[in-house]
Each structure stands twice: as structure tokens, then as C-alpha cells.
Amino acid sequence: MGREYPPRGRRARQPPAWRALRGRPAAVIRSPVSGLIHGTAVAFETGRGLAGVLITGRPGAGKSELALELIAMGAWLVSDDQTGVQARDGSVILSAPPRLRGLVEMRGVGLLRAETVEAAPLVVLVDLDSPETVRLPEPHWHFLEGCRVPVLRKCESRAFAAAIRQYVRFGIVQEIEDRPQ
């Protein structure tokens, strides 16, 4: 079950989609953004404009898989694997390095094309390396490019992607208000 290699002296023919990833590693691709992060980003259209979700985690944590679930729920791909981050007007703007734009990798399937947006403001960071163990957690925050960003930790639920979508659209209820019965 290991990786298969072509016979010595012969290069395996690469499908056209893989050619975009040949050459320099993604970490050194020149990009118009101020920094690159190992993460995947998607964006949802809301009544207030685009809202970006940055998914971070170690290799193999499921960033692209979660992104594909969110894309199936109506999100657009911003970037897979390497995401540009830039502080602008008090928020973080997410973008893709040009060579990776429009491509998302699914392990066991390959590179897939996806509908994309060029850039989106970040509204939540999803951390797949830190599992959430509390039923109703306190808010978590992370500073990125000098901006405070809300963080959702990995939740072991089949509805996690749907919860992220709801969070982006409507936010989190901090306290239940007294309502007339």
C-alpha cells in the first residue's frame, strides 16, 4: 500500500492539473499578498458581502475535505493548502497564490477544479488541530496579521461543516435573552 514510483529513468506522465504545482514549493511562490499561511480558505456570500473561513491544521488533518463539504453547501474556494493573508482596514483579507487559484486537492481523488473568488475578508478561523471538548465553549480568539479573529476548534460531529456555515451567516448566541412566553 505504499506509494508507487515509475521505473527508473522514466518519468511518469502527469495530468495537466498537476503541472500547476510543479516547480517551486508553494511556500516560496511570489504572491501579491503580505504573507502565506498553510491553510485552506473558502468564502460564503452573506447579506453583508463575502465572509471568509480559514481552515488550519497539520498535513492530513482534513482541511481540504472540510473545504469541499463547505463548497457543497454553497461556499466558493478562495485557496487550498497555501492561503495569502493581508491586513487591510482592520480585517484580514484571504487570497490565493496565482498558481494555485481554482484548485483543491482531495486525497485519493486528485486535484479538482472549483469555483473561486479572488479574495474575501476573514470572519472565522477553524483550527483542526485543537479539538473542542466543551459542550458550550467560551469564545476563542487568535491574532493574525495584527487583527483579532474568532476561532472555532475542531468538533467531532458530522454537522461541523453545517455549523460553520450557520456561524458565518448568523454568528454565535452568547446569551439567551429573556423572552415573553
Query: Predicted confidence band at 181 (pLDDT cuts at 50, 70, 90)?
Result: low
* Residue partners of 62: CB distance under 8 A and separation at least 6: 128
At residue 47 the predicted structure's pLDDT band, cuts being 50, 70 and 90, is confident
Give per-residue pLDDT as tens, 65-94: 999 999 999 999 999 999 999 999 999 999
Query: Which domains, ranges and CATH numbers included, belong to the chain?
Result: 30-169 (3.40.50.300)
Rounded CA separation 37/173 (Å): 29
Question: Taking residues 15-31, what's their average pLDDT?
Answer: 36
**Is-contact 161 73, C-beta < 8 A?**
yes
Helix or strand (DSSP H, E) at 67: helix 63-72
